[in-house]
Structure 1
Amino acid sequence: MLRKLDHKNMGKSNLGWLRSIFHFSFAEYFNPTNINFGALRVINDDLIESMEGFDTHPHQDMEIISYVIDGELTHQDSMGNKRTLSRGEVQYMSAGTGVFHSEHNFGNKLLRLLQIWVYPDKKGYEPNYGDYRFPWELRKNKWLPIVSGQQGNAPIKINQDANFYVVELEKGNEITFEVNKDRQAYLVQIEGESQINDINMNAKDGLEIVEENINIKATENSSHILVIEMKKA
């Protein structure tokens, strides 16, 4: 089963310094039929103006992954971490029993990132932070595993049976992705355009995939894609 979610119909917010597209219910956007997709609770496509950001605030019992698309993201938290990440780099924070953090754009250009929340497999984990600076070429025309569950093979591991992959597919190239029985996946067309099976995907669109393999063809320039694969709800 495949179901496209057109970004033009998603929830949106414009606070001036922050412009967001919400793949699922978040903040002032509430849709009771669109709360989550399995363990996946939040995907926010955020644009943050220079010298702006989220001041210190708390989180608890959530696995939080940030994927930087363009610009620079500076993270600081109550565990003593302070890091700045750029395009294609990933940070992870397990909020667990509770943590405070801030996220800012201290660069001189617009920051775009995907903010992703995944329910943990249980509550009460010890808070944890990590990040990884993936060389861009590792995702050229091939899947790059960036996040996995504790038993997976990605360098960033979360407390949930969920696996994150990214690819930048050059125009005209094709790649497949398997979603097996009792598994589901959510795909974000980050940049560019693709044809996925018989569905045309534009930048910022989403795609729900349940127990179905897909073939992706880049149709316009390069196609930058994220897939989050997990157990079926």
Structure 2
Amino acid sequence: MLEYRPFTELGTFANDWLDAHYHFSFADYADPDRMGLGALRVWNDDTIRAGTGFAPHGHRDMEIVTYIRQGAITHEDSLGNRGRTEAGQVQVMSAGLGIRHAEYNLEDQPTTLFQIWIMPRRQGVAPRWETRQFPRSHGRFDILASGLPSDGDVPIIHQDARVLGGTLDAGTTIARPLVLPHAYLVVARGAVTVSDITLGPRDGIAVTGETTLTLTATEEAELVLVETA
């Protein structure tokens, strides 16, 4: 089953420093039909004005993956971590027993990112944070973070799930096997077709009960995919 979720129909929030679009219910945006997909709970598409950001706040028992599309985010947390994650990198945080963190755009341009929350398979794990460069492969998906032991040396999340990214050249078709029950795909830029559905920039599609996801890029496309139990 495929469910197309165009960018223009996402939940929204805006103030003087943040422009946010919600693929699933979040904060004041509540849609009982969009409460998540399997263990995937949140997918926010955020634009953060230069010199602003999320002040210190706390989380518990959530796996939070941040995919930077443009610009950079500077992270600080209660574990003593501080680091800058820029476009072409992914930041992974396990909130676990509890962590306070801040995410600031200290750049001179807006930062755009996807903020992805995945519910852990168990509560109370030790909190942790890391950031890592990811490959810019063409014609395939690379694993950016995973809770599956078979996925090797990638940032760990505490769930049977993986976060992937990839770029397809215009005219390329790939068939991605799906071994987990649910998947959610978002086009960061460009355009692809899935079955007879065309997805443009920042559109999403929910996939349930399929064994293969076949994609054709109608123009060069940067893609982010979450597969999850």
Q: 1:179/1:14 Cα in 2 relative to 1: closer, same or farther (>3 Å)?
A: same
Offset from partner CA, 1:139-198 (integer Å, 9 cap, x none): 222211111115132511110000111111111111111224x62111111111111121
Q: 1:154/1:227 Cα in 2 relative to 1: closer, same or farther (>3 Å)?
A: farther
SS at match of 1:158: coil
- Structure 1 segments, 4+ long, off by >3 Å, are none
SS at match of 1:80: coil
Which residue of structure 2 lines up, in the alignment, with residue 191 of structure 1?
189
Which residue of structure 2 lines up, in the alignment, with residue 155 of structure 1?
154
Match runs of 1:27-176 below 5 Å? 27-136=27-136, 139-151=137-149, 152-176=151-175
SS at match of 1:155: coil
Offset from partner CA, 1:205-230 (integer Å, 9 cap, x none): 1111122212111112x111111111
What is the alpha-carbon distance in structure 2 between the residues aligned to residue 214 and residue 120 of structure 1? 25
TM-fit CA distance, 1:16: 2.2
Alignment identity in percent? 35
AA matched with 1:86: E
List gaps (5 residues or longer) in structure 2.
none
Mean Cα displacement is larger for which, 139-148 or 90-99?
139-148
What is the alpha-carbon distance in structure 1 between the residues aligned to residue 98 and residue 165 of structure 2? 29
What is the alpha-carbon distance in structure 1 between the residues aligned to residue 13 and residue 153 of structure 2? 33
Which residue of structure 1 lines up, in the alignment, with residue 228 of structure 2?
230
AA matched with 1:143: F
AA matched with 1:157: I
Contact 2:148 2:162 in 1 (8 A): no
What is the alpha-carbon distance in structure 2 between the residues aligned to residue 7 and residue 96 of structure 1? 31
AA matched with 2:88: G
Task: Calculate the TM-score normalised by the size of structure 1.
Answer: 0.94
What is the alpha-carbon distance in structure 2 between the residues aligned to residue 142 and residue 119 of structure 1? 26
What is the alpha-carbon distance in structure 1 between the residues aligned to residue 121 and residue 55 of structure 2? 28
Match runs of 1:210-225 below 5 Å? 210-212=208-210, 213-220=212-219, 222-225=220-223
SS at match of 1:4: strand
AA matched with 2:167: E
Contact 2:55 2:104 in 1 (8 A): yes
Which residue of structure 2 lines up, in the alignment, with residue 207 of structure 1?
205
Task: Calculate the TM-score normalised by the size of structure 2.
Answer: 0.95
Offset from partner CA, 1:88-127 (integer Å, 9 cap, x none): 2001111011110000100111100001110000111111
Contact 1:193 1:203 in 2 (8 A): yes
Which residue of structure 2 lines up, in the alignment, with residue 178 of structure 1?
177
Equivalenced residues, count = 227
Contact 1:179 1:209 in 2 (8 A): no
SS at match of 2:156: strand
Q: 1:177/1:150 Cα in 2 relative to 1: closer, same or farther (>3 Å)?
A: closer
Cα RMSD of the aligned pairs, angstroms, is 1.2
Which residue of structure 2 lines up, in the alignment, with residue 13 of structure 1?
13
Contact 2:61 2:119 in 1 (8 A): yes
Contact 1:179 1:210 in 2 (8 A): no
TM-fit CA distance, 1:2: 1.1
